[in-house]
Copies of this chain bind each other. A is one copy, B any other.
């Protein structure tokens, strides 16, 4: 369709604040379009590490409204901020009711806010391969703060939020959400817990439930605060932002370095899986006796895979 740009020009343009170039860079990287392989190391060299804030929680917990509130605080402090929304129910990514959508429009004219949505399905290599590349592109554009919003249901989604420097888990009162959060494995990853819609009955119980569950876990020296918010009214958002800053201070340079080393190792593993997955796909599509026998139901897929992998 359009001419493929010179990789270093595209990275330079994205780094110097050209939002269209940034959008293009993200698209090429996350969908592995032409230029992907050349762009990745260039983008990496140009990237400035941002403070990554992950926000996760069940659909309807109010993650987007909280994100919106945080954007306002960050902008009031004069900092640029980017949002990567991989939540299919997020108004940022398009799955909103009208009221939410209208609210998001507030940021459209603000050049200091960049919002990017990412579909949770249909990426070559999967969501877990695409999201780190989109986040890399946002660091190439030197956003000091990046918020990653994911729905805390699928494994990939939870892991993407968990890879942030500071992870916020949002729950709501009632409906046994605390218990659900525990099941989904998000208790382990939360640095800050938010009980949103705290004007509803059961907010104090939700806090108590969370506190009891957190007390059971083996934690590090950081005790995750539990903050009640009514995000639609802006109540409690300041406290959430303060908790994020406190957590970042708690991490310190060494803690942050440890988080980032671990994240890079995980990204290396994901990148390896992506390469090996392609090989697996090519093998499985190659035909041949093993594939034919598995398709026909004469050989079980696991023995077949072992044979193909040369085990």
Contact = CB atoms under 8 A, between A and B. Distances in A.
Interface of A: 37, 40-41, 44-45, 58-59, 88-89, 93-97, 119-122, 126-127, 132, 151, 153-158, 175-176, 179-180, 183-185, 260-261, 264-265, 267-277, 279-281, 283-285, 291, 294-297, 300-306, 308-309, 311
Main secondary structure of the interface of A (DSSP, over half): helix
Contact of A300 (B41, B304, B309): B41
B268 A309 contact: no
A133 B304 CA distance: 14
B153 A156 contact: no
Contacts of A122: 185
6 contacts: A41-B303, A95-B176, A120-B154, A260-B297, A261-B295, A271-B304
Given A40-B302, A44-B302, 19 more contacts: A41-B303, A45-B300, A58-B59, A58-B89, A94-B183, A97-B175, A120-B154, A121-B185, A122-B185, A153-B154, A264-B294, A264-B301, A265-B285, A265-B294, A271-B302, A274-B305, A275-B305, A276-B280, A276-B309
A40 B300 contact: yes
Contacts of A296: 261
B151 A40 contact: no
A155 B302 contact: no
A252 B189 CA distance: 47
Indicate the member of A175, A273, A283 with the most B CB atoms within 10 Å. Answer: A273
Indicate the member of A94, A126, A183, A272 with the most B CB atoms within 10 Å. Answer: A272
B305 A180 contact: no
A39 to B, nearest CB: 10
Given A271-B301, A274-B305, A284-B272, A155 B120 contact: yes
